[in-house]
A = this chain, B = another copy of it.
Amino acid sequence: MECKKNAPIGVFDSGVGGLTVVREIIRQLPNENIVYFGDTARVPYGSKSQNTIIRFSEQIIRFLQTKQVKAIVIACNTASALALESVRDEFEVPILGVVVPGAKAAVEATVNGKVGVVGTEATVQSGMYTKVIQRMNSEIQVLEKACPLFVPLIEEGFKEHHVTQEIIDFYLDSMKKTDIDTMILGCTHYPLLRSKIRTYMGEQIQIVNPAYETAMNLRNLLKEKDMVNDGTGEEVSQYQFFVSDAAEKFRRFANTVVPFDVPETNVVNIEEY
């Protein structure tokens, strides 16, 4: 496959959460162009089945390929957990998920071999973090916990409301009572609650943000394949945003996550791909 260095990175998510991954890619790879797709017409993925998530992911990858992307990041834990292996077999473009980088960082971070994972219902039910971590080191104990209200609380602007603190307590109380020393934020929205979760769990717990690790992996992948955009020949990096619905609402939320003004956002009928 021919591939220009200044071809964009494709990033997709079920909605706005993947913007925390975009934020990390921008930090670590400031010269890359990015095409983001948020599947806002069909969000959330967290409560949907594997077949559905695979079908949605295939459609989005076909759409991103129309933008000549040189690599694709599945910036959604649910889709990474449920669809990555399937779409990797199917498409030639290099595809990264967020689960493996997050799992790897946790395996390296844990001292006592006890790791906690918080995520959506689908991610936790898939047990994918446990499988991937134990494939790397079968001695590690993994404790997974679904926190399905975190996403609506964040998206509805309740991050600073005290009920969010109570819901954190409700979901994480049992995990806090264990002796895990490392915790993976296994949903792309959760980094937006990181400081609250860190305060609740205590400073002795290492918090792993897969978004950060994934951007690192992407940088390594691009270096290996000699595909890093060195920034010559272009003025500034281009960021394009596409959604399957409700572009204006997306843009408003996006502006609270990424460090620049999100320009126009285009609506795509993703079911056609």
Contacts and interface: CB of A to CB of B under 8 A. Distances in A.
Interface stretch (A30-38, A153-161, A193-201): A153-161
Contact of A41 (B52, B153, B249): B52
Contacts of A48: 40-41, 245-246
A: contact size bracket: 20 to 34
Given A245-B52, A271-B271, A158 B149 contact: yes
Interface stretch (A102-110, A163-171, A173-181): A163-171
A195 B47 CA distance: 28
A238 interface: no
Nearest to A247: B49
Contacts of A245: 48-49, 52
A202 interface: no
A206 to B, nearest CB: 28
A40 B246 CA distance: 19
A156 to B, nearest CB: 5
Contact of A149 (B156, B246, B271): B156
A63 to B, nearest CB: 15
B167 A163 contact: yes
A146 to B, nearest CB: 9
Contacts of A244: 52
Interface string A176-218: 0000000000000000000000000000000000000000000
22 contacts: A40-B47, A41-B48, A41-B52, A42-B42, A47-B246, A48-B246, A49-B245, A49-B246, A49-B267, A52-B244, A52-B245, A52-B246, A148-B152, A148-B156, A149-B152, A149-B153, A149-B156, A152-B152, A161-B170, A163-B163, A163-B166, A166-B166
Interface of A: 40-43, 47-49, 52, 148-149, 152-153, 156, 158, 161, 163, 166-167, 170, 244-246, 249, 267, 271
- Give the top 6 A-B pairs by smallest Cβ distance, nearest first: A152-B152, A163-B163, A52-B245, A48-B245, A148-B156, A42-B42
